[in-house]
Structure 1
């Protein structure tokens, strides 16, 4: 096993790598499985069956024990190659003997397994084959072989005919006559004991991933209450749950892992001496204004909502009323009838079938225990060929639902406003995107529509049960590397794990055609950032053309450039002298979005100009400011800021007696921004018209009526 062409991995190195991966899986899964390592072909002999003639050159490197980092370190550093050959059948006998003796008197072992790793190139004796087969069957041991592929030989009895043998790197080398004989013998043993054989090329990828900790299922038992007189005993098992990494290694003293690490917490007052106090002398307090209200444990217990353990159906509804985005919790559960209760099984099956046939789901109230609060959930009927159950998913209460309203994206030019018309995609663009999405489906339906069970025949990529979490894989890899190589830097991410972060190759191949079409229908252009015009770059010397000649700046009178921008400093406030120019410069700053602040300042300036105006003297200036604020609110897609201001501004004008300016607003049609002008607005066209006409007239009549009543009161007093 220590022989290989130059530049290729030997079978011994591959076997050691496979052993390391198996032990890694047990360590990080925190498994209670016990592992023993037996070497054959060693210079020394260390096993209880050796008698000087038989079972020589076989060593028990590690007796049966729970896997740990010490065993990993032992495999990597203590196993050295040798030129001595040993009988792998003798090694199997030593392994069976050690399994029987090491597990004798111990409880809790579910099964026993022997894993043989060899290229089967050594000599062996077949005189104890029947004894080995009987021993494996009698002890209930499972036999697995990792080595050359046993399926490549054309004729089992043709042991002299050389054939190909699969190596760990996927290449093939010619079998020797000894290997052919050994494979034939091992194939016979595996057939008798119903064992499994894996080639190195098959085993290494399968063992490359760390497995999560396996948790034994525990049932939550309760009674499904339909009415006060109908109760069905049920059991609930976790079907899908968020995996929490058990970080028992977080509190470990690196220099002495056997030393226990504890925590010590003390409490001190906020005074100069930092006086230490006992925890028993403290009480929890909550602020109510400036007052601190003490809250003892008894107070909290009395105020806590108390509920009894229950699982009660509140009603039934259609599945479409339970939205997918309403699912809460960290997983789902399977609800089945209580084990051994036939009456409960019949009753629950009837309910499942009835809801399935009527296309309904049940809304339930669930209280896990008296110490927990009530939860709202949904029971979804789930029927398969060999079982049926309810799938329980937690739902939100009314207070848990957050309503967010987002403007719809433009789909066609017919339902798009004029402002967003240029962003509407064409039919050809929509068709290309639709084909790309269909091709990228990770669970395509089978081509044969006559299949009764489409789910079983569908080719699903990235199945959750076959896909490992890259975060955990990288973490386990780093922990293992740091434990075995404390002074070396952390290794790069394993290529096998890195492939999980990429789309499946078959999907990428199917998408190539549509991606090329995507590039044609969506033409991308490089947009150069417009250089800010300042005095420095307006008058700097030209790098091209005649040396010493400066570029002649274009002097415009608009706000986009020219001397006005050159001499202007950065605007931070909307002033009273040139409010419109200040506002436009403020919102056009490129470094950050200042529209909300600029809009607030502009609103204040409009109110100030109108109130301070002597008669209608400053009304034109205020109207220019209002027009600038309104037009830029539409342009910047911020209509709600302007609409909220106009509602307050209208009330202020009526209160201050500025009815003449409001008539000017009506004449210039500067009312609320409706949906026709901006899709981000929530005001309809009819509401905008009503705002500047009928409502104002009514409010004005109320104000005149109040003024008339005040005048009558004054006359009565005189």
Structure 2
């Protein structure tokens, strides 16, 4: 059974092919509108069937023609699901004719058929009617159909009678009439496929004795293409295209094995632990389907950035259960009046894990429901602390007072943010504020999918041509709304005046006195601009490199190597002290383990060159203090990396100048492990203060 049958009826007579030079004919506009209708059905993967009927053709091809009636009417395409073949037919097989004919329609199907007629409703002597004119006596008022490509024509008495008849037909069939200028913008967007809603039924459990039968429907969900569009035909369309996947061992011969002989495994250190399907089934957390309220809280306790999942749901009472409807309505009203939300535990089915969610009361004039949004467990939240920007002279150091924004600058930023708000209030005629929302989800199409559909359509109809340029309609989605741009224009000008940008020129380094270049005239030599080379270990790279006096935070390893390789004097002790401070700074300031790799590279470089320069004592002294610092600062995870990477004390086995034995170096990295293994032998007393001290 088809969802809907659509008959597209097109006038191809002479009136549809008339237009002044340089303008588009009505037939060309009709073909463009038809293409848009079909492509919307194709990419929405609709099961609707479409037929294309032409009237005014030179030939006659329809089953009702008997020589006297239904002449010059051709069924170009019978009812069928929209596809690329239909798009090709519309693009290539519709030709204008010089024969005028009347459109006569007859449905031989028991299904309801929607009819879309494309015609200028003109003949060779007159113009099309204006069906938007409610006043029949206002014959001189032009409407969308009284103009042929922008040129007004006077209507005859016969045409005005035809207008009345068409209005009567539209009224009887509850139809609509649009001009081509109105239809094209409405059809220009690709529609997403429509998904039939399926209810998830469960019982909302408040207590063990209070259960309300409910149904949950998807309200908003992340849209994904049903088809990946990755499978294409081979050069020979008759050749079958398939996938071949093989599995091989990691040996020299890459021995092929069967999928049935494989088992999943996980690494636990250096050990590979096999995990069979039975093992996974036994270890999997088992839960029963439920929808249970855990408690209630204020809405502000559920932060917007805590929302999880790929959408939200509407929770309503089970259909047909009046008692459930009354009970759920009472709960919705109570939470709404007390400004509360409910925290619930949801288990979709016995095969899925538990989820934590929030029920938000949602009341409209037509309906009321709960909105369900998934929220995280405590373990899912990552706490990152970022330093605040200096906004006043009280909380900024003396050296950075010039970066404190002025009151005018802060006000300008606030005004800009307010003007760019996509939800703004406007006063209506009743002196009541109404909220205007730009870019409403149900009215805004995803530009990614729109571009994808555009490319697929172009490649399907023009397989040998390059992809078309980005459609202006799609490009408009990437631009802010014009109303927002207009409102924020003055605030942007104010920002430009208050926040002046200046180009800061870098000072040229005057180094490399040993670099000379002979001039062609034999004049005195001139200094040559130093050249930085990747090789920092010596040679010309050290000579030409700009003199380094500090180990920075951007490239600390390179700065350290360049610092200690300077030939004029021994700078290792000074460079080592700076490198030690830099390592400690990077670890302590790291957000989690974000900068640990950089700090480890610095530590390895310091240890390596301490051995090369015969200065192991400096490194060992630093490491003993650094270990205590890491544990005190709560950076035990970095110390564990130090132990794993074998970056502990430098022993006599590595450097003859070291006074640390191999056993002492080993004990240094194992001391913490021994402390962890010691049981907590502190006796618990009865005194509450002692217990608090222990905690």
Q: TM-score, normalised by structure 1?
A: 0.71
Q: 1:498 aligns with which of 475, 481, 494?
A: 475
Residue 442 of structure 1: how far off its partner (Å): 1.6
Q: Distance in 2 between matches of 1:402 and 1:37?
A: 58
Residue 330 of structure 1: how far off its partner (Å): 0.3
Change (3 A) 1:64 1:448: closer
Secondary structure of the residue aligned to 1:393 is strand
Contact kept in structure 1, 2:347 and 2:353, CA below 8 Å: yes
Residue 326 of structure 1: how far off its partner (Å): 0.8
Q: 2:423 aligns with which of 443, 447, 454?
A: 443
Q: Distance in 2 between matches of 1:199 and 1:266?
A: 58
Change (3 A) 1:306 1:15: same
Contact kept in structure 2, 1:11 and 1:119, CA below 8 Å: yes
Q: 2:47 aligns with which of 32, 44, 51?
A: 32
Contact kept in structure 1, 2:202 and 2:215, CA below 8 Å: yes
Secondary structure of the residue aligned to 1:261 is coil
Q: Distance in 1 between matches of 2:281 and 2:147?
A: 64
Contact kept in structure 1, 2:36 and 2:187, CA below 8 Å: yes
Deviation digits for residues 145-195 of structure 1 (CA, Å, limit 9, x no counterpart): xx87532x4742566x58464699984533554755543432232133321
Contact kept in structure 2, 1:164 and 1:174, CA below 8 Å: no
Counterpart in the other structure of 2:131? 150
Counterpart in the other structure of 1:464? 441
Residue 228 of structure 1: how far off its partner (Å): 1.1
Counterpart in the other structure of 1:269? 249
Contact kept in structure 2, 1:11 and 1:168, CA below 8 Å: no
Secondary structure of the residue aligned to 2:17 is coil
Secondary structure of the residue aligned to 2:86 is helix
Counterpart in the other structure of 2:179? 199
Secondary structure of the residue aligned to 1:209 is coil
Change (3 A) 1:451 1:397: farther
Q: Distance in 1 between matches of 2:254 and 2:420?
A: 63
Q: Distance in 2 between matches of 1:176 and 1:43?
A: 28
Q: Distance in 1 between matches of 2:387 and 2:356?
A: 31
Contact kept in structure 1, 2:536 and 2:558, CA below 8 Å: no
Change (3 A) 1:203 1:533: farther
Change (3 A) 1:29 1:149: farther
Secondary structure of the residue aligned to 2:74 is strand
Residue 49 of structure 1: how far off its partner (Å): 2.4
Contact kept in structure 2, 1:2 and 1:81, CA below 8 Å: yes
Counterpart in the other structure of 1:423? 403
Residue 234 of structure 1: how far off its partner (Å): 0.6
Q: Distance in 1 between matches of 2:247 and 2:587?
A: 54
Secondary structure of the residue aligned to 1:587 is coil
Contact kept in structure 2, 1:164 and 1:175, CA below 8 Å: no
Secondary structure of the residue aligned to 2:549 is helix
Contact kept in structure 1, 2:62 and 2:73, CA below 8 Å: yes
Q: CA RMSD in A?
A: 4.2
Counterpart in the other structure of 1:174? 153
Contact kept in structure 1, 2:247 and 2:259, CA below 8 Å: yes
Change (3 A) 1:85 1:256: farther
Counterpart in the other structure of 2:556? 595
Q: Distance in 1 between matches of 2:74 and 2:443?
A: 37
Q: Distance in 2 between matches of 1:486 and 1:380?
A: 50
Q: Distance in 2 between matches of 1:302 and 1:635?
A: 44
Deviation digits for residues 309-352 of structure 1 (CA, Å, limit 9, x no counterpart): 11111111111111111111000111111111111111111111
Q: Distance in 2 between matches of 1:170 and 1:359?
A: 58
Q: Distance in 1 between matches of 2:374 and 2:515?
A: 64
Counterpart in the other structure of 1:253? 233
Deviation digits for residues 517-563 of structure 1 (CA, Å, limit 9, x no counterpart): 22111111122344444549997799xxxx9988987xxxxxxxxx9
Contact kept in structure 2, 1:162 and 1:175, CA below 8 Å: no
Q: Distance in 2 between matches of 1:425 and 1:518?
A: 12
Change (3 A) 1:39 1:510: same
- Count of residues in Structure 1 that have an aligned counterpart in Structure 2: 576
Counterpart in the other structure of 2:294? 314
Q: Distance in 1 between matches of 2:233 and 2:22?
A: 42
Deviation digits for residues 650-702 of structure 1 (CA, Å, limit 9, x no counterpart): xxxxxx999xx99xx9xxxxx99xxxxxxxxxxxxxxxxxxxxxxxxxxxxxx
Secondary structure of the residue aligned to 1:335 is strand
Residue 632 of structure 1: how far off its partner (Å): 12
Secondary structure of the residue aligned to 1:365 is strand
Secondary structure of the residue aligned to 1:196 is coil
Contact kept in structure 2, 1:363 and 1:376, CA below 8 Å: yes
Secondary structure of the residue aligned to 1:378 is strand
Q: Name stretches of at least 5 consecutive residues in structure 1 with no aligned partner.
A: 125-146, 554-562, 575-580, 606-617, 646-655, 666-670, 673-718
Counterpart in the other structure of 1:56? 71
Counterpart in the other structure of 2:277? 297
Contact kept in structure 1, 2:215 and 2:315, CA below 8 Å: yes
- Within 5 Å, give how 1:402-551 maps onto structure 2: 402-447=382-427, 454=433, 457-535=434-512
Contact kept in structure 1, 2:201 and 2:215, CA below 8 Å: yes
Q: Distance in 1 between matches of 2:532 and 2:253?
A: 57
Change (3 A) 1:463 1:289: closer
- Within 5 Å, give how 1:110-189 maps onto structure 2: 111-122=112-123, 150-151=131-132, 153=133, 155-157=135-137, 163=142, 165=144, 171=150, 173-174=152-153, 176-177=155-156, 180-189=160-169
Q: Distance in 2 between matches of 1:536 and 1:169?
A: 83
Deviation digits for residues 48-85 of structure 1 (CA, Å, limit 9, x no counterpart): 22222222111111111111110110011111111111
Contact kept in structure 2, 1:16 and 1:75, CA below 8 Å: yes
Q: Distance in 2 between matches of 1:474 and 1:74?
A: 23
- Within 5 Å, give how 1:599-678 maps onto structure 2: none
Contact kept in structure 2, 1:223 and 1:231, CA below 8 Å: yes
1:44 aligned to 2:9? Answer: no
Residue 268 of structure 1: how far off its partner (Å): 2.9
Q: Distance in 2 between matches of 1:463 and 1:532?
A: 56
1:6 aligned to 2:6? Answer: no
Residue 281 of structure 1: how far off its partner (Å): 2.2
Residue 291 of structure 1: how far off its partner (Å): 3.1
Deviation digits for residues 480-537 of structure 1 (CA, Å, limit 9, x no counterpart): 1111111011101111111111111222222222222221111111223444445499
Residue 240 of structure 1: how far off its partner (Å): 0.6
Counterpart in the other structure of 1:21? 36
Change (3 A) 1:635 1:537: farther
Q: Distance in 2 between matches of 1:376 and 1:636?
A: 35
Secondary structure of the residue aligned to 1:433 is helix
Q: TM-score, normalised by structure 2?
A: 0.73
Q: 1:76 aligns with which of 49, 67, 91?
A: 91
Residue 625 of structure 1: how far off its partner (Å): 7.0
Residue 201 of structure 1: how far off its partner (Å): 0.8
Q: Distance in 2 between matches of 1:396 and 1:241?
A: 18
Contact kept in structure 2, 1:42 and 1:57, CA below 8 Å: yes
Secondary structure of the residue aligned to 2:427 is coil
Contact kept in structure 1, 2:19 and 2:149, CA below 8 Å: no
Q: Distance in 2 between matches of 1:169 and 1:426?
A: 61
Q: Distance in 2 between matches of 1:222 and 1:600?
A: 67
